[in-house]
Amino acid sequence: MKVRTLIALLALIVALIAVDTPTFSTAAFTSKTTNTGTVSAAVDWTPPTVTLTNPGSPLRGTATVTATAADAETGIATVAIQYLAPSTSTWTNICTASTAPYSCAWDTTPRPDGSYSLRAIATDKADYTTTSAVATTTIANAITVSLSDPGEAVRGSVPLTVTLGNAGSTSYAVRIEYAVADSGSWKTLCSAASCTWNTTGFANDFYDLRAVATANGTTTTSAIIEGVVVDNLAPTVTMTDPGSPLSGVRTFTATATDAHSGVEEVTLQHAANGSSTWITLCTVAEEPFSCRYDSTKIADGTYSFRAIATDNAGNTRTSATIANRVINNVVASVSLEDPAAVISGSVPLTANAASSAGVASVRIQVAPAGTTAWTTVCTLNASPFTCTWNSAAVADGLYDFRAVMVDKAARESISATVTARRVDNTPLRGLDIQSANGGSTPGRIEAGDTMTFIYNDRVNLGSIVSGWNGSALGVTLRARDGNLLGLGSNGDTVDVLRNGAVVNLGSVNLRQNYVRSNNTASFAATMTASTATINGVPVTVVTVALGPAASSSNRVRTVSTTASMVWTPSGLVTDLSGARASNAPITESGSLDRDF
């Protein structure tokens, strides 16, 4: 009887599960004995399924985010849609929906632009939950405005174009504006996304440019393109008379200046008299605008010479022509190689000589600069025409050099004179000047760069700055455009100041156009001194390390061409014995490179 009663109760439980809503059911019975039993049955052991639909990318404004969810047993109770902001670890609810379709209208405008993660969490009526796979999207509500860079120097008609990013379907009013550099006084150049800037209606000067986009009362401005120089004025250029007759290897020279964008290059040319066909001797991109050219490569005859200067904006000018200069390499040619700008000790002197009649002898001679008091250093009867001169046998000063050739027909030819070479056997002098790039842009004076001044002996540091012992000293490095000093665009010059007064390091001609025309750039700097051993001799090395710019950063330019700096030391510096230093200029050693 007990068994039959138990079976009946279990059948009743199964029937109730079939007709009742899905949930847990219980049944209890009491036997006629003292034992009581309870039975429970679960009808939902399976979590729901959920998928988030990627809303696409980028999103702006209000976007719809949708999920799908299902549960075959107890059904879906809720679906929560959430986002994870950039650089955070906490998920935030967008909405919670209890009925399909499970979607939200997500207002993205209060949130910063960036990459966001999205997910959905479904919960069924048995409290089981499932989290969807994560979807990634980007919010991009901010419009970007950019203006094409016309270049550092412009002339004539210049195309300008504005590009809008993230504009969507919004209609924007776009204009391009200009202002005299650093003035902040903006004027409209054109009211369009692209236009041609006719610079001929503007004064030759530096200008700032920007683009402006406006819609629905909101204005967005592009980054400012600073310091664009308008230069519609051609440079000035003069061809130096090379002399006549010409023979052997000769130096051809021109002078050129440009007050605004600077001289980019000078081309030196020749043409036979009466011909309009000009042939290039050389193209020079830095001062001095000169080159050595072997005239034997040109047929003997009468020629004209000229120079063409081009500035950085593309303006060109041709010099006056120097006509009726004779090239004659048939009889003889003789030239003397430049021994060096500064000479000390024993130096080699080398001449080049040739004659159709044969070379009988070559005399190499020296004279005090500007005089005719020629002294023969050596007489050579065969190639190579080289001998050694002991410069210590003459007083320090400027000297001229030449070579005199006598051919086997007893005809004498004299080379061009190598003029004003300095003999300097003073114990203390500059030995070398170097710079190093420690900043982010090679060829641009900026924080992190260094300049190193090297003497040939130990220096009394107190003669550079009173009381200085070589420890770190706050100074100012000043770089001035060469036009301010009458040295031309490629004569930019550096010196070092302490409390507004120039320290006794002298000055360095950078031989390049690092500073914008008629500007001065200043940098906070630290000066230190150390002792190094060079060729077995202890020498003083002064290092100036540049810190932040003390003037506007747009006063300096980035230089792409190579040059050798020239340091003119101060004659006020003394050695440890009190003897003053020579102020003879020193040219940077090593191969041509881009300084800073």
pLDDT at 30: 46
Q: Where are the beta strands (DSSP E) in 182-240?
A: 187-190, 194-198, 206-215, 218-221, 225-230, 236-239
Distance CA 197, CA 451 (A): 41
Which CATH code of 2.60.40.10, 2.60.120.20, 3.90.1300.10, 3.30.2130.10 fits the domain covering 144-230?
2.60.40.10
pLDDT at 42: 52
Q: Residue 572 — φ and ψ, nearest 5°?
A: -85, -10
How many CB atoms lie under 10 A from the CB of residue 172?
A: 19
Overall average pLDDT of the 11-19 stretch: 40
pLDDT at 443: 92
Determine whether 251 is exposed, middle or buried from the number of CB atoms within 10 Å of its CB (0-12, 13-18, 19+).
middle
CB proximity list for 118: less than 8 A, separation 6 or greater: 52, 54, 55, 65, 81, 82, 83, 84, 134, 135, 136, 137
Residues β-bridged to residue 301: 327
Least Cα distance to 238 among 174, 356, 319 occurs for 319
Which CATH code of 2.60.40.10, 3.40.50.410, 3.40.50.10420, 3.40.50.10490 fits the domain covering 236-320?
2.60.40.10
Distance CA 369, CA 386 (A): 22
DSSP letter at 200 equals G
Distance CA 462, CA 572 (A): 11
Q: Where are the domains of the chain?
A: 2-41, 49-139, 144-230, 236-320, 332-423, 430-587
pLDDT at 27: 44
Least confident of 136-140, 329-333, 506-510: 329-333
DSSP letter at 199 equals G
CB under 8 A, 24+ apart: contacts of 20-24: 22/73, 22/74, 22/75, 22/125, 22/126
Q: Which CATH architecture has domain 49-139?
A: Sandwich (2.60)
pLDDT at 167: 77
Q: How many residues does the chain have?
A: 596
Residue 246 confidence (pLDDT) above 50: yes
Least Cα distance to 139 among 103, 112, 118 occurs for 112
Average predicted confidence (pLDDT) for the chain: 89
DSSP letter at 380 equals E
Residue 210 confidence (pLDDT) above 80: yes
Least confident of 81-85, 310-314, 409-413, 561-565: 409-413
Q: pTM of the prediction?
A: 0.42
Least Cα distance to 106 among 65, 56, 51, 55 occurs for 65
Residue 7 confidence (pLDDT) above 70: no
Higher pLDDT, 595 or 586: 586
pLDDT tens-digit readout, 325-334: 988 876 778 9
Distance CA 430, CA 481 (A): 24
Check: CB of residue 450 under 8 Å from CB of residue 435: yes
Distance CA 436, CA 450 (A): 5
Residue 33 confidence (pLDDT) above 60: no
Residue 128 confidence (pLDDT) above 70: yes
With a pLDDT cut of 90, the percent of the chain lying above it is 71
pLDDT tens-digit readout, 263-305: 999 999 999 998 999 999 999 999 999 999 999 899 888 999 9
Distance CA 166, CA 133 (A): 28
The helix or strand, by DSSP H or E, that contains position 3, with its residue range, turns out to be: helix 2-19
Equal fold, 49-139 vs 236-320: yes
pLDDT tens-digit readout, 461-478: 999 999 999 999 999 999
Residue 588 confidence (pLDDT) above 90: yes
Position 10 confidence tier, pLDDT thresholds 50, 70, 90: very low
Burial letters 255-281, b for 16+ CB under 10 A, else e? bbbbebbbbbbbbbbbbbeeeeebeeb
How many CB atoms lie under 10 A from the CB of residue 149?
A: 11
Top-level class of domain 332-423? mainly beta
Check: CB of residue 334 under 8 Å from CB of residue 380: no
pLDDT at 201: 93
- 3-state SS, one letter per residue, for 452-473: EEEECCCECHHHCCCCCCCCCE
Check: CB of residue 517 under 8 Å from CB of residue 482: no
Distance CA 225, CA 209 (A): 5
